[in-house]
Structure 1
Amino acid sequence: METEDLPSVPATAIALPKALQEAVQHGEVFTRRWVVEMILDLVGYRDELDLASLRIIEPACGQGAFLSPIVARLSSSCRIHGRPLLDAIDAIRAFDLVELNVERSRAAITTLLLDEHWSAPEVEKVVSSWINHGDFLLQRAGADTADFVVGNPPYIRLEDVPDDRMKAYRKACTSMSGRADIYIGFYETGLLRLKKGGKLGFICADRWMRNQYGRGLRKLVTRDYSMDLVATMHDVDAFEEQVSAYPAVTVISRRQQGAVIVADTTSEFGDEAAREFGSWAAEPSEGVIEKAAYHAVRLPHWFPGEDSWPSASPSRLAMLEQLSDRFRPLEDETTGTRVGIGVATGADKVFITYDGKTVEPERMLPLAMVKDTVSGKINWGGSYLVNPWDSQGQLIGLDAYPQLAAYFDRHREALSKRYIAVKQPTRWYKTIDKIDPRLARRPKLLFPDMKLTIHPVLDEGGLYPHHNLYYVVSNAWDLRVLGGLLLSKVAEAFVEAYAVKMRGGTLRFQAQYLRKIRVPDPVLMREEDRKALAKAFDERDVDAATEAALRAYGLDQFPD
């Protein structure tokens, strides 16, 4: 197997380092037969096709969980189409790093074919060609193109891989950035092997769709492929042993993005339900199906871009996609609506005080803290921000403010130890973020960073937000009306779909998630809906806010 232009690591696993061998074996999770059959059905690998003329790749074959059903279908196809088995010698490419796995897979496939009455010589030839002892990630690009790539990639953190091979992986698989799991490389390499129109079907952890290390892979999929199906299977007994892998079945094809099936399954999802789901997926007539074992919808397209992809029930995703297609984002130049975060000082004990006479009055800004927003109304606790910036965003000279100069000088040791001060020693008294005092004067909606539910609070003007608060300002919106929209379950659904939940179900209401929210044009909203939203916001009535928001969005109901 060729590995030119890569670090000098053998593509085959003849001298597989012990550490990597242990990591690979630890990362092996074998897939139940019915799950494999479902994936093969979903990608369209069926025996009525002339499979001997096509090629399927299994990149980490283990002990044959995928190979056995693949070969059974290929064998049946050869019989149906009157093909000798040797016609299919190039129809399968399977790889594994562990030599014992290769031996066991070859033995299992040999037995299967002999039991189907293929001759021993031709069985020996095809099996030795099909199943290879090697590293799929270090094949030369274009070495094997495929109509199908299927499997269950190993779950191995890159830090568990020896340094030389890790460098080879990073060079070969450009989407494997940061603290990526090795399965990212299997996705990338598998996708790059697909012919035009080819399909990849994996059962794998779904974290790459949302976390930082999956960004490169999301970019690749968005740019060159179509996400055809996502079936979340977190509660399904899909593997031969119990693991906490948060798996999902994904089908991705090499074509322009088209319609996509999104499904969520329950613990009741098994062999029979999988066959029923596969039959439904193959028929384009119905747009929604809901059973005890699964709930699925067809969306017109997948969510674009490399930012985190949403995670929600199929019905919620359908709603979010519809709203994303019909309405503009919350942050919008047309309405002058902006989302931001409060000031990070780098030394709160110095820059935040409760003594309003600490320094010159013009250097003191009343500061909004998270605790001031708890009731849903601003209840200012008396904190101030000692401000070293002028209204033009320039760091002031201390000579003009003797009280401020003396105050900072008393705390010079603590301020100078900060990274930002070490990096810019002449600006040792600056805050990490610049401060624009004009923001304090503007009316704004404030959002605590961490809450169980969305919690917009109106500051009529006068306070500057602290770093643990995010804010929304607007030139066009009545902020009480916008506050009602953002108090609703519809707005919260956007954040919940994109944000990673913390322990206990706490959500992060950060700027990147608030910007995902779509809102109607304030000019086009009906006056009765505006009044209802403003009233619901004033009364902190989430149900009333949701009811009014649904009318404003043109929705009949809020999906579960």
Structure 2
Amino acid sequence: MSDRSAANLARTWVRHADFLLDQVEDRTADVAIGNPPYIRYDDLDDDTAATYRATWSSMKGRGDIYVGFIERSLAMLKPGGRVGFICADRWMRNQYGAGLRGLVAERYAVEHVWTMHDVDAFESEVSAYPAITVLANRRQGSAVVADTTAEFSKSSASALVKWSGDESLTDFTDVGVQAHRLPHWFAGDDLWPTGSPARLALVELLTDRFGSLHDPETGTKVSIGVATGNDRAYVTKNPKAAEADRMLPLAMRRDLMSGTFDWQGNYLVNPWDVDGNLVDLADYPRMAEHFAGHPELKQRFVARNNPNRWHRTIDKVHADLTAQPKLLLQDMKAHIHPVLEPGGFYPHHNLYYVVSTTWDMEVLGGLLLSRVAQAFIEAYCVRMRGGTLRFQAQYLKKIRVPGPESISDDLAGRLRTAFADRDVDAATVAAAEAYGIDPAAYDVLTSSDTEE
């Protein structure tokens, strides 16, 4: 081809413009392929950021403009068209990607997600958590998930492409890659799980078959303890810091360290009555004196916003929670570690809790101690350096459990014993039986997914 022909084609084919603002008629493309730019919204000037957000509904929170590039490319697709991008997969796991996840779930299909975190996917070395993601303008069908290592090569990629084209095939292994075909993708704008293809297949299977741990129908609730806004003022080991009915025994992280609940003597100086109303300090002179010794309480935003209620904690205290048996979990730990608090204590905000009106809490504790529960947490939660997991309520609610009525007396006894003995292996064997997991899937549970 002559230079002149090449220049003419370039002028015809290439447009130099802002892809997120340039006017292009929707549904004009059969295929969109790209590696979009990574620019945080915070790095844009205010006018540009505001215009992008007003134009593309998925660009919310403190995200990255590649989210808008994906939405724009999807909007251009003809029926049956596809978007294939290699870019960071963080939008699948973070809150700022919720709008895009919801859009994809409602109107498009996920066809491929090939995770390539350890592959030199770009000419220069970058820490971008890349993945090849293919989305299509059609109804959701099966989806291929692949997890690669540094050994992933051109020949492995070619073999994976060939395998992906045969809908009758479920599993694939080659040098540097493992893949699995899921019957469908995950619904809604919730976080999309991560992990090995086999682990994702198990999570999807259990998600389809069982209800959430947090379920109003079983009277089971997952939540977080009380945030005070100033622990120095509200948390004390002095039982006489205020009037006796204002001193609420408080469950804290150190009470769980041994695997059984061992109260270390902390109290919450509680400004709330049994009906959830803020008490009048004039009725409690000792508590008033205690709070007066912490003048910083009046400097908090919540106090300045309502000076007459300056002595309130950030969260209300719900009196009926105190007496209930609770499974308590630390916020950050490498493995799920539920501990039974038999009742009489209120959880602090560094603890998450599970209460239920239908479950035997020791049986449920056995299920949560198992590697089945661990698999859900690893699939959804943020992993910190050193392998520490964040056990937040949003991730705990992702755990699926069988109905309490489906657990036989014998199985309940085994789960109860495993929980009391802190025996993860026994809990996992019993839980696998409760979930109806076959031996092949059980092998997936015993091999941990690790990713920093």
Question: Which TM-score tier does this pair reach, normalised by the shorter chain?
Answer: over 0.9
Q: Against the structure 1 CA distance between its residues 405 and 166, is the aligned structure 2 distance closer, same or farther, given a 3 Å change threshold?
A: closer
Distance 1:120 1:442 in 2: 79
AA in 2 matched with 1:459: E
- Whether the aligned pair in 1 keeps the contact of 2:156 and 2:175 (CA below 8 Å) is no
In structure 2, what is the equivalent of residue 156 of structure 1?
39
Distance 2:8 2:175 in 1: 46
AA in 2 matched with 1:429: H
In structure 1, what is the equivalent of residue 350 of structure 2?
468
Summarize the alignment of residues 326-341 of structure 1 with structure 2, pairs less than 5 Å apart.
Answer: 326-341=209-224
Summarize the alignment of residues 168-207 of structure 1 with structure 2, pairs less than 5 Å apart.
Answer: 168-207=51-90
- Whether the aligned pair in 2 keeps the contact of 1:550 and 1:558 (CA below 8 Å) is no
In structure 1, what is the equivalent of residue 359 of structure 2?
477
In structure 2, what is the equivalent of residue 51 of structure 1?
none
Summarize the alignment of residues 221-260 of structure 1 with structure 2, pairs less than 5 Å apart.
Answer: 221-260=104-143
- Whether the aligned pair in 2 keeps the contact of 1:490 and 1:558 (CA below 8 Å) is no
TM-score by length of 2: 0.95
User: Does the alignment pair 1:301 with 2:163?
Assistant: no
CA offsets per residue over residues 143-200 of structure 1, 9 Å max, x none? 6710100011112223333443333322322211222212111111111111111100
TM-score by length of 1: 0.77
User: Does the alignment pair 1:390 with 2:310?
Assistant: no
Distance 1:160 1:398 in 2: 48
In structure 2, what is the equivalent of residue 73 of structure 1?
none
In structure 2, what is the equivalent of residue 104 of structure 1?
none
Distance 2:49 2:233 in 1: 44
User: Does the alignment pair 1:374 with 2:263?
Assistant: no
Indicate the larger mover: 137-146 or 529-538: 137-146
Q: State the identity %.
A: 55
Distance 2:165 2:36 in 1: 25
- Whether the aligned pair in 1 keeps the contact of 2:256 and 2:339 (CA below 8 Å) is yes
From 303, 307, 326, the counterpart of 1:421 = 303
Once the 2 structures are TM-superposed, how far is the Cα of residue 355 of structure 1 from its aligned partner?
A: 1.1
User: Does the alignment pair 1:492 with 2:387?
Assistant: no
- Whether the aligned pair in 1 keeps the contact of 2:27 and 2:75 (CA below 8 Å) is no
User: Does the alignment pair 1:313 with 2:196?
Assistant: yes
User: Does the alignment pair 1:360 with 2:209?
Assistant: no
Gaps spanning 5+ residues in structure 2: where? 448-452
- Whether the aligned pair in 2 keeps the contact of 1:176 and 1:213 (CA below 8 Å) is yes
In structure 1, what is the equivalent of residue 102 of structure 2?
219
From 482, 507, 519, the counterpart of 2:401 = 519
Distance 1:519 1:545 in 2: 14
AA in 1 matched with 2:35: N
Summarize the alignment of residues 440-451 of structure 1 with structure 2, pairs less than 5 Å apart.
Answer: 440-451=322-333
CA offsets per residue over residues 262-288 of structure 1, 9 Å max, x none? 110111111111110000001112111
Distance 1:141 1:336 in 2: 51
AA in 2 matched with 1:410: G
Distance 1:217 1:524 in 2: 37
Once the 2 structures are TM-superposed, how far is the Cα of residue 357 of structure 1 from its aligned partner?
A: 1.6
Distance 1:399 1:471 in 2: 33
CA offsets per residue over residues 104-151 of structure 1, 9 Å max, x none? xxxxxxxxxx1xxxx777655433211122221112252671010001
- Whether the aligned pair in 1 keeps the contact of 2:407 and 2:434 (CA below 8 Å) is yes
| RMSD value, Cα | 1.5
Q: Against the structure 1 CA distance between its residues 163 and 400, is the aligned structure 2 distance closer, same or farther, given a 3 Å change threshold?
A: closer
From 122, 128, 138, the counterpart of 2:21 = 138
AA in 2 matched with 1:404: M
Once the 2 structures are TM-superposed, how far is the Cα of residue 558 of structure 1 from its aligned partner?
A: 3.9
CA offsets per residue over residues 59-113 of structure 1, 9 Å max, x none? xxxxxxxxxxxxxxxxxxxxxxxxxxxxxxxxxxxxxxxxxxxxxxxxxxxxxxx
Distance 2:120 2:222 in 1: 42
Distance 1:236 1:510 in 2: 30
Distance 2:319 2:443 in 1: 40
In structure 2, what is the equivalent of residue 38 of structure 1?
none
In structure 2, what is the equivalent of residue 532 of structure 1?
414
User: Does the alignment pair 1:509 with 2:391?
Assistant: yes
From 397, 404, 422, the counterpart of 2:287 = 404
In structure 2, what is the equivalent of residue 110 of structure 1?
none
- Whether the aligned pair in 2 keeps the contact of 1:259 and 1:301 (CA below 8 Å) is yes
Which has the higher Rg, Structure 1 or Structure 2?
1
Distance 2:175 2:263 in 1: 50
Gaps spanning 5+ residues in structure 1: where? 1-113
- Whether the aligned pair in 1 keeps the contact of 2:303 and 2:311 (CA below 8 Å) is yes
Once the 2 structures are TM-superposed, how far is the Cα of residue 320 of structure 1 from its aligned partner?
A: 0.4
